[in-house]
């Protein structure tokens, strides 16, 4: 069960470091029975040099962590870690954190969920 403190932590983190968008399902994901155009699904993306923070996002959302990624052109820059929350899981988190977000993030979440509902 997700605790209120975890939702508040996630809202605060995503307010500053998260991205909210949607992508179209690939042909492999949609299968043969899926109508055209390919359906949209919501996505929450996070990137950080702090592995422990991305691990916490993954623990709370069930998403996977990828990385570390290094940048050969900038060898002294710390490696980055990434996580992507998708589909119903992303929708659920967007709805849970929505009341705690600032105006700009609320508008983006609303836009993503509206696009998903209207397809």
- Residue 97: give the domain boundaries: 4-27+34-112
Whether 85 is in a domain gets the answer: yes
Provide the number of structural domains found in the chain.
Answer: 1
Whether 57 is in a domain gets the answer: yes
Three-state SS for 72?
Answer: coil
Whether 63 is in a domain gets the answer: yes
* Model confidence pLDDT, tens digit, residues 44-66: 999 999 999 999 999 999 999 99
Whether 118 is in a domain gets the answer: no
Whether 89 is in a domain gets the answer: yes
| Contact yes or no for 82/60 (Cβ under 8 A) | no
Assign residue 69 the CATH number of its domain: 3.10.28.10
What count of residues does the chain have?
119
* Model confidence pLDDT, tens digit, residues 61-75: 999 999 999 888 887
């Amino acid at each position: 069960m997700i605790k209120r403190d975890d939702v508040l932590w996630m809202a605060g983190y995503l307010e500053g470091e998260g991205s909210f968008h949607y992508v179209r399902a690939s042909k492999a994901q949609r299968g043969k029975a899926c109508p055209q155009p390919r359906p949209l699904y919501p996505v929450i993306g996070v990137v950080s040099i702090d592995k422990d923070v991305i691990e916490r996002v993954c623990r709370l959302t069930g998403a996977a962590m990828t990385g570390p990624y290094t940048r050969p052109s900038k060898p002294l820059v710390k490696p980055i870690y990434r996580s992507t929350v998708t589909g119903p899981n992303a929708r659920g988190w967007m709805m849970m954190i929505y009341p705690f977000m600032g105006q700009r993030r609320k508008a983006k979440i609303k836009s993503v969920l509206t696009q998903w509902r209207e397809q």
